[in-house]
Amino acid sequence: MPAIKDVAQRAGVSVATVSRVLNQHPSVRADTRERVLAAVADLGYRPNAVARSLRTDQTRALGLVISDVLNPFFTELARSVEDAARDLGYSVVIGNADERPELQDHHVRTLMDRRIDGLLISPTDGGSPMMLDAARTGTPMVFVDRWIEDESLASVPVVRTDGRDAIRDLVAHLHALGHRRLAIIAGPAATTTGRERVDAFRAALREFGLTLDDGHIGQGDFQADSGRRVTARFLDLPRPPDAIFAADNLMALGAMDEIRARGLRVPGDIALAAFDDIPWFVHTDPPITAIAQPTGELGHAAVRALVDLVEGRPAESVTLSARLVTRRSCGEPEGSKP
Amino acid sequence: MPAIKDVAQRAGVSVATVSRVLNQHPSVRADTRERVLAAVADLGYRPNAVARSLRTDQTRALGLVISDVLNPFFTELARSVEDAARDLGYSVVIGNADERPELQDHHVRTLMDRRIDGLLISPTDGGSPMMLDAARTGTPMVFVDRWIEDESLASVPVVRTDGRDAIRDLVAHLHALGHRRLAIIAGPAATTTGRERVDAFRAALREFGLTLDDGHIGQGDFQADSGRRVTARFLDLPRPPDAIFAADNLMALGAMDEIRARGLRVPGDIALAAFDDIPWFVHTDPPITAIAQPTGELGHAAVRALVDLVEGRPAESVTLSARLVTRRSCGEPEGSKP
DNA sequence: ATCCTCCGTGTAATCGATTCCACGAGGAGG
DNA sequence: CCTCCTCGTGGAATCGATTACACGGAGGAT
């Protein structure tokens, strides 16, 4: 693999001149430029990004640590992040934390070791040591989707979706269809989205004169299995809920598994709704009512904020809003009753 | 961010000694080692991977270029690749080609510029310039899932799934349920998996005395939209097929969309099956019969082969086999008829 | 006592780029 | 004709690690 000195030699110039040509520095005579470019083409030379990074102290790479790649919400997020970053001339290195704090820490550490220019992170837990460290040492950092409530992290911008209104709409929808005993499969209490969705759900219930039983809050971990387990607990109750709201799409999948395994039917026996909409919800039996986040915009906004930080501009937090997409899993839509 | 010389200074030794401690070189006196380790801890020093890579000419990073992150098959693959790589002490940098050759090329180029140690690639097309270049210049490289049939790439190991038998099983299943006019939504002809699945399908049909009409082969591109389009064409035929086999799960999703949009029913009006199984297929209406690849093993085997290459050992191609998972989208299972 | 070995450590070259500074040539202005 | 700029270019320092080689001291062999 040819290095810059090979190009210099072949073009009969110094490495400095080659470097200037490569970085479109103006003070190179046109014919010299030609010669250098010709040598570059002949040798198939490509600058070594590792060496360049060492010298310039920037890698033009961003780190993205997400909680679970297998969750369609996060893969869509990852995709939009990569798109936005590429447009701005950055690469993205993805780390999958699998909802495990120690894995999250591993990835943050590896990314920092590789000296990525900035970190986009959707924390799995209450804040791992490496992450606090990264924030403290001034690594540009942006939280996406979830964030950490810690005063030492107060300056880290948060790009997220506020599901409050959509959740209220969902509760209204359920209420209108006659459901009164509503339950929620919550995310981990350590995550902000975990808590927030429960809070919003509880507040909305209150608005409709309902209360959220302690027995109707199940602790999940955003994985399908936990949705199954919690749903089993709900269904074993003497008076089971008549509607279940899963705080993410994987737990909704688990819930469906369990409901189906017991020979019950959605929405006849029990209604089901989920946070996060995915293409498959159209084709499930029945199609699932869900709260959709503007995932693409979320990714773009997050990258914009992070790159602002990286390039020395101030960055702001962004809050987008989610919307309810009603389908048939909570009962027949209002207008369509016979 | 402290560098090795800061550690050296604080411990009162030279940078060489610090480096030796960090790389567990044996010839360091125990008490010196202690002092160095203490300094490392005090400063929170972490070695700069960029500098290390420049010097050692290895990054301990692997590149993975996949055709489409949004396809659950590939995200599962990516996840298993990352798992396997991490176990062996490597990081994975993912590039999403989005089934677009020019994007694939962009990622290969970027990864090569960053001097990744090896490249895992699932090519979208017949072989882009950068890829041929990479192979020619001796970059360790392994094809996964798909590959390129080019003599200059003959030495690149291929880790893949052979779906031949499973496709035969599928055709047998369809035949047993009375379907005779079978159609296939194929992948791009430029991809090996695209062609291979059609070939296997055609061969299996012949075995059952059926033929594959030209009108019953639709050219898709592994994306949902193309599944929709091709299905529309099938259904507009004067004598539409009575069973459709989609060569991947996204095109199956598109096919379902189209079938549903026309008010037709699966499997009553038309049977549907897909290559690649995903968790949601259990919950669609109806549950979809699919051919499942051992995705986890695929990823692990691919990483093993690539790391062998990277570390100077010979690597071998691996072919795993897929299996048919019958559900209800082709008709009621044999045993369960009344 | 002398010489050799080995052990632990330091000095300095090196990887491949970027960039500051210096330098020579040529043109403009006095 | 001399001085001063400007322009284009080259030399060399630098980023942060690794590692070949050198070196001084301790201990063993003779």
pLDDT at A204 over 50: yes
pLDDT of residue B311: 95
Instruction: Evaluate the omega torsion of the peptide bond into residue A294 and state whether it is cis, within 30 degrees of 0.
Output: no
User: Quick one: A169 and A142 in the same domain?
Assistant: no
- Residues B6/B43, Cβ–Cβ less than 8 Å: yes
Q: Is the CB of A4 under 7 A from strand C?
A: yes
Distance from the Cα of A201 to chain B's closest Cα (Å) equals 26
- Is B283–A256 a contact, with Cβ atoms under 8 angstroms apart? yes
User: Quick one: B313 and B330 in the same domain?
Assistant: no
Span A279-294, average pLDDT: 90
Q: Taking chain B (338 residues) in consecutive chunks of 10 residues, what is each chunk's mean pLDDT?
A: 95 96 93 96 97 97 94 96 96 93 93 97 82 87 92 92 96 96 94 92 96 94 94 96 96 93 92 94 89 97 97 95 95 55
Q: Is A83 helix (H, G, I), strand (E, B) or coil?
A: helix
- The dihedral over CA atoms of B56, B59, B60, B65, expressed in degrees to the nearest 10, equals -150
Q: Is the CB of B49 under 7 A from strand D?
A: no
User: In the β-sheet with B91-96, what is the strand arrangement from edge to edge?
Assistant: B91-96, B61-66, B118-121, B141-144, B158-162, B318-321
Structure tokens of B322? Answer: 């897929």
User: Quick one: A94 and A206 in the same domain?
Assistant: no
Q: Answer whether residue B53 is part of any domain.
A: no
Q: Any CB–CB contact under 8 A between A41 and chain B?
A: no
10 Å Cβ neighbour count for A326? 17
Encode burial over B91-105: b for 16+ CB neighbours within 10 A, e otherwise.
bbbbbbbbbebebbb
CA separation for the pair A303, A142 (Å, rounded) = 8
pLDDT at A124 over 90: no
> Where does residue B205 fall: left (phi above 0), alpha (psi -120 to 50 degrees), or beta otherwise?
alpha
User: Quick one: B112 and B261 in the same domain?
Assistant: no
Q: Answer whether residue A200 is part of any domain.
A: yes
Query: Which 8-state DSSP code applies to residue A262?
Result: T
10 Å Cβ neighbour count for B23? 10
Overall size of chain A counted in residues: 338
* Residue A87 backbone dihedrals phi, psi, to 5 degrees: -60, -30
- Is A93–B93 a contact, with Cβ atoms under 8 angstroms apart? yes
Got the DSSP string for B116-157?
Answer: -SEEEE--SSS--HHHHHHHHTT--EEEESS----GGGTTS-
User: Quick one: B136 and B69 in the same domain?
Assistant: yes
pLDDT at A289 over 60: yes
CA separation for the pair B260, B225 (Å, rounded) = 14
- Residues B143/B159, Cβ–Cβ less than 8 Å: yes
Q: Any CB–CB contact under 8 A between A69 and chain B?
A: yes
Print the domain residue range for A34: 4-47
- Residues A255/A185, Cβ–Cβ less than 8 Å: yes
Could you give the angle at the alpha carbon of B219 between the alpha carbons of B218 and B225, nearest 5°?
95
Q: Answer whether residue B28 is part of any domain.
A: yes
Among A283, A288, A327, A329, which would you mutate to test the B interface (most chain B Cβ atoms within 10 Å of its Cβ)? A283
User: Quick one: B96 and B145 in the same domain?
Assistant: yes
pLDDT of residue B233: 97
Partners of A108 on chain B (C-beta within 8 Å) are none
Give me the residues of B, 222-241, that contact A with CB < 8 A: 224
- Is A79–B91 a contact, with Cβ atoms under 8 angstroms apart? no
CA nearest to B133 within chain A: A44
Give me the residues of A, 131-160, that contact B with CB < 8 A: 133, 137
User: Quick one: A141 and A246 in the same domain?
Assistant: no
CA nearest to B258 within chain A: A283
pLDDT of residue B333: 60
User: Quick one: A226 and A283 in the same domain?
Assistant: yes
User: Quick one: B234 and B283 in the same domain?
Assistant: yes
Q: Which residues contact A312 (CB under 8 A, 6 or more apart)?
A: none
Q: Answer whether residue A52 is part of any domain.
A: no
User: Quick one: A34 and A115 in the same domain?
Assistant: no
Structure tokens of A54? Answer: 């060492």
> What is the average pLDDT value for chain A, to the nearest integer?
93
Distance from the Cα of B32 to chain A's closest Cα (Å) equals 25
User: pLDDT tier at A126 (50, 70, 90 boundaries)?
Assistant: low
Among A114, A133, A279, the residue with its CB nearest the CB of B49 is A114
CA separation for the pair B111, B121 (Å, rounded) = 11
Encode burial over A271-282: b for 16+ CB neighbours within 10 A, e otherwise.
bbbbbbbbebbb
Q: Answer whether residue A23 is part of any domain.
A: yes
pLDDT at A333 over 80: no
Structure tokens of B154? Answer: 């003959």
CA separation for the pair B135, B147 (Å, rounded) = 13
Give me the residues of B, 170-199, that contact A with CB < 8 A: none
Partners of B109 on chain A (C-beta within 8 Å) are 46
Could you give the angle at the alpha carbon of A235 between the alpha carbons of A234 and A237, nearest 5°?
70
A95-110 confidence digits (pLDDT tens): 999 889 899 999 999 9
- Residues A283/A257, Cβ–Cβ less than 8 Å: no
Q: Which residues contact A217 (CB under 8 A, 6 or more apart)?
A: A183, A184, A186, A198
Who wins on pLDDT, A284 or A32? A32
Q: Is the CB of A55 under 7 A from strand D?
A: yes
CA distances to A210, A310, B30, B254, B275 from B197, rounded to whole Å, are: 55, 47, 62, 18, 9
> Where does residue A131 fall: left (phi above 0), alpha (psi -120 to 50 degrees), or beta otherwise?
alpha
Partners of A82 on chain B (C-beta within 8 Å) are 96
User: In the β-sheet with B289-292, what is the strand arrangement from edge to edge?
Assistant: B217-219, B182-186, B243-246, B271-275, B289-292, B323-325
- Is A133–B78 a contact, with Cβ atoms under 8 angstroms apart? no
Residue that is written with structure tokens 């490249």 in the block: B119
User: Quick one: A193 and A254 in the same domain?
Assistant: yes
Question: How far does the CA of B9 sit from the C1' of C21, in Å?
Answer: 30
pLDDT of residue A48: 98
User: Quick one: B308 and B193 in the same domain?
Assistant: no
CA separation for the pair B305, B294 (Å, rounded) = 17
Give how far the C-alpha of residue A35 lies from the chain's centroid of Cα atoms, to the nearest Å.
47
Please give the tally of structural domains in chain A: 3
Q: Any CB–CB contact under 8 A between B32 and chain A?
A: no
Q: Answer whether residue A54 is part of any domain.
A: no
Question: How far does the CA of A8 sit from the C1' of D12, in Å?
Answer: 16
Q: Answer whether residue A311 is part of any domain.
A: yes
CA nearest to B81 within chain A: A96
Q: Answer whether residue B81 is part of any domain.
A: yes
CA distances to A109, B6, B20, B42 from B37, rounded to whole Å, are: 18, 13, 11, 9
Q: Any CB–CB contact under 8 A between B265 and chain A?
A: no
Identify residue B184 by its one-letter amino acid code: I
Among A260, A279, A285, the residue with its CB nearest the CB of B253 is A279
CATH code of the domain covering residue B11? 1.10.260.40
Comparing C-alpha atoms, which of B205, B212, B211, B269 is closest to residue B235? Answer: B269
CATH code of the domain covering residue B124? 3.40.50.2300
- Is B72–A72 a contact, with Cβ atoms under 8 angstroms apart? yes
pLDDT of residue B282: 86
CA separation for the pair B59, A242 (Å, rounded) = 55
Give how far the C-alpha of residue A190 lies from the chain's centroid of Cα atoms, to the nearest Å.
16
Which residues 8-67 of A interface with strand C at a CB distance below 7 A? 15-16, 19-20, 22-23, 47-48, 51-52, 54-56
CA separation for the pair B127, B129 (Å, rounded) = 7
Comparing C-alpha atoms, which of A304, A326, A327, A329 is closest to residue A317? Answer: A304
* Residue A8 backbone dihedrals phi, psi, to 5 degrees: -60, -45
